[in-house]
């Protein structure tokens, strides 16, 4: 069963309309409609978790169907011990820490010292987020008070010619929360870091990246659950 078929079947089982589920998940109805039609083959982990919460199902059901989590978890555990992934992620975090707070300014004298991020993955995530939010690229540019070409360049995997504060563009233009931004920059920074490791196979890099992302999500949920009430 495909991810589009699963979402549609689960929604219909719960007697929810597309508009009702979209409202539960804070998604654009047009995005959910196209997802169920099979137009979007690879929704992000966060989008799938949000949809799973709206459907009141275990997120792992959708993550497995989307290919993010293997059916045979035993094989994955043998291949990647959790402690090894933790050490790798911690090393990557140190390596990309400056990238999290940098601006995309090609004229910055320190720019060459800033670790690279996976611009192809960044472009993919930004396009997906914008479509999920039902935003036109020009509207995202207007909100961020930047030229439309900045959005075009970012979503094409290019470094914008115009200096732009990446965090500001993501928050103001794309409507991301600070948590969303932190997770995205962690993901694209870690992806680039892993891509430079000549020992890891492409499949190993993909699995390590997904486990690291899921570990961050679980850690945040755990910390939120243990926080004292305001």
186-204 residue pLDDT tens: 888 878 877 766 555 676 6
Average pLDDT over residues 6-23: 90
Q: Which domain holds residue 37?
A: 3-65
- Considering the domain architecture, whether residues 170 and 216 belong to the same structural domain is answered as yes
The pLDDT tens digits of the residues spanning 175-186 come to 999 888 888 888
The pLDDT tens digits of the residues spanning 95-149 come to 544 444 444 444 444 443 334 678 898 999 999 999 999 999 999 999 999 999 9
- Considering the domain architecture, whether residues 110 and 165 belong to the same structural domain is answered as yes
Q: Is the pLDDT score of 83 beyond 70?
A: no
Which long-range CB contacts under 8 A does 139-143 form with residues at least 24 apart? 140/169, 140/173, 140/174, 141/173, 143/172, 143/173, 143/175
Angle made by CA atoms 98, 103, 105, in degrees to the nearest 5: 120
User: How many CB atoms within 10 Å of residue 183?
Assistant: 20
Number of domains in the chain: 2
When pLDDT is cut at 50, 70 and 90, the band that residue 77 belongs to is very low
Last residue of a domain, one of 37, 65, 93: 65
Q: State the virtual CA torsion across 215, 216, 219, 220 in degrees, nearest 10.
A: -150
- Considering the domain architecture, whether residues 49 and 88 belong to the same structural domain is answered as no
Q: What pLDDT does 220 receive? A: 67
Last residue of a domain, one of 48, 65, 82: 65
- Considering the domain architecture, whether residues 57 and 78 belong to the same structural domain is answered as no
- Considering the domain architecture, whether residues 77 and 137 belong to the same structural domain is answered as yes
Per DSSP, helices labelled H in 39-177 are 45-55, 59-65, 73-79, 82-100, 119-132, 137-144, 148-155, 166-168
> How high does pLDDT run on average in the chain?
75
């Amino acid at each position: 069963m495909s991810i589009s078929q699963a979402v549609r079947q689960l929604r219909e089982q719960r007697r929810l309309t597309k508009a009702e589920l979209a409202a539960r998940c804070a998604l654009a109805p047009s995005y959910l409609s196209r997802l169920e039609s099979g137009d979007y083959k690879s929704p992000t982990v966060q989008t799938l978790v949000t949809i799973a919460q709206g459907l009141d199902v275990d997120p792992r059901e959708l993550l497995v169907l989307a290919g993010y989590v293997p059916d045979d978890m035993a094989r994955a555990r043998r291949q990647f011990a959790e402690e090894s992934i933790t050490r790798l992620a911690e090393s990557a975090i140190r390596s990309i820490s400056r990238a999290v707070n940098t601006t995309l300014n090609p004229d910055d004298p320190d720019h060459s010292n800033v670790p690279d991020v996976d611009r192809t993955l960044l472009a993919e995530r930004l396009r997906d987020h914008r479509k999920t939010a039902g935003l036109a690229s020009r509207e995202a540019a207007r909100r961020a008070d930047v030229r439309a070409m900045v959005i075009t360049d970012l979503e094409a995997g290019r470094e914008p010619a115009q200096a732009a504060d990446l965090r500001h563009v993501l928050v103001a233009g794309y409507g991301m929360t600070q948590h969303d931004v932190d997770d995205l920059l962690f993901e694209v920074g870690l992806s680039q870091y892993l891509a430079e490791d000549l020992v890891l196979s492409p499949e190993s890099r993909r699995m390590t990246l997904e486990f690291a992302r899921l570990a961050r999500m679980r850690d945040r949920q755990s910390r939120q659950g243990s926080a004292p009430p305001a």
